[in-house]
Structure 1
């Protein structure tokens, strides 16, 4: 599990921008002239939450490693038990050989002994293959589970702390502040709160801009969408975590191949 633990620790790397422009929320940097205490506090909270999510994901990895080791130890114990039974069978075959005839018994015992050795080796090889298969499959399961844990933590926090959600909206607007005729679409859960901060959000634009805020019940999670004549921009915890999951899975597949 060393690989997965390592890549989870570094999973907040840059993701490739495709049709949607994803807003990064892991490395929240205070830009020049944006040193307001409130934004610093929100950034600190979000970073702390992501660290907690990462720790939970690593705990899941360690637990899976522990379970895999227990399975492997059980297989080894079964092999040892089989080896004991094999020795008993060999001794019985040897004793029977003496009753039939020393020469024939020795020959039969030798063949029986070799047969038992082959069976033991096949059993061990099969156990190793099964162990490796379990580990490889669990890597992807743990990866997806870790991302879901992070997603749950972040979304629950944003549901309960609208100031932090507003911070994500601000980051999205700053990315689109050169756009014209802005439409901000947000989940109904946050509509009233964000609407009360419309004037504050409008101050983020360098010049007077048409700016509208709409509740959108089709939006899931705690993201927002900016529509404008310049294009479409998405800022979402769910989108970002999905990009992280895809990137980590690609790295994992490369390492296992």
Structure 2
């Protein structure tokens, strides 16, 4: 997963004010391969978006050329009808031919407009569907990577906890709540976690079975911070979505 992920504001359980975590940085060098897989997934998504954009531009160029050809045909047909009416010498016939040609032209323009609108709607629908599919694939890959890493080594959870504590390092009393399955791992590193603070701190670590397996809740006198893995994945989803849109033209990004 990305080595920089923003976490959202989470409502306090006890009515206390909520503090926003700005950044989480997972410093474990073993995550290098995971970050590489994430970047490859993002690159593939951008390439797919670029290909879809190229196809759209090619399609619209084809439609434009067809419109030019049809307009040229209409111009020749109009001249023919006008010449035919003049040759006959009947004003009524000339007017009728002109009106008929104008009516046919208006009908053709309306048909072309409907065709372009339908093609436009179908294209954007396909583009949005493809982008969502790529996003879900990348996110599922990240979930598998994170899950496999934590299952094989629960200490990989500690950098996340350390980063959250770094955000509240100016506090003198901090409580950390984790799932019971992670409690022993986190509590066993209490002194290491306390080293994040530049001063003496009362650091309490509690098990909380209401949290998800890799959930983490940090509480200070000023509020609570939800910094679990689920929140990290949600931030990853938002980051991937933004990067996908960066691979599109402004028009396509605005339509999705």
- Asked if TM exceeds 0.5, the reply is yes
In structure 1, C-alpha distance between the alignment counterparts of 2:9 and 2:37, rounded to whole Å: 26
Residues 40-59 of structure 1: pairs in structure 2 closer than 5 A: 42=28, 44-46=29-31, 48-59=33-44
Q: Does 1:152 align with 2:143?
A: yes
In structure 1, C-alpha distance between the alignment counterparts of 2:193 and 2:4, rounded to whole Å: 27
Structure 1 position 177, deviation (Å): 3.2
Alignment counterpart, residue 254 of structure 2, candidates 246, 253, 256: 256
Structure 1 position 166, deviation (Å): 1.2
Residues 18-29 of structure 1: pairs in structure 2 closer than 5 A: 19-22=18-21, 24-26=23-25
Identify the structure with bigger relative contact order (alpha carbons < 8 Å, sequence gap 6+). Answer: 2
Q: SS of the counterpart of 1:185?
A: strand
Residues 31-180 of structure 1: pairs in structure 2 closer than 5 A: 42=28, 44-46=29-31, 48-60=33-45, 62-63=47-48, 117-118=108-109, 121-122=112-113, 124-134=115-125, 137-138=128-129, 141-142=132-133, 145=136, 148-149=139-140, 151-156=142-147, 157-180=149-172
In structure 2, C-alpha distance between the alignment counterparts of 1:162 and 1:23, rounded to whole Å: 24
The count of corresponding residues between Structure 1 and Structure 2 is 231
In structure 2, C-alpha distance between the alignment counterparts of 1:187 and 1:15, rounded to whole Å: 19
- What is the alpha-carbon root mean square deviation over aligned residues? 5.6
In structure 2, C-alpha distance between the alignment counterparts of 1:146 and 1:22, rounded to whole Å: 27
Structure 1 position 199, deviation (Å): 3.4
CA contact (8 A) 2:178 2:206 kept: yes
Q: SS of the counterpart of 2:170?
A: coil
In structure 2, C-alpha distance between the alignment counterparts of 1:248 and 1:221, rounded to whole Å: 28
Q: SS of the counterpart of 1:182?
A: strand
TM, length-normalised to structure 2:
0.56
Structure 1 position 154, deviation (Å): 5.0
TM, length-normalised to structure 1:
0.56
Residues 1-12 of structure 1: pairs in structure 2 closer than 5 A: none
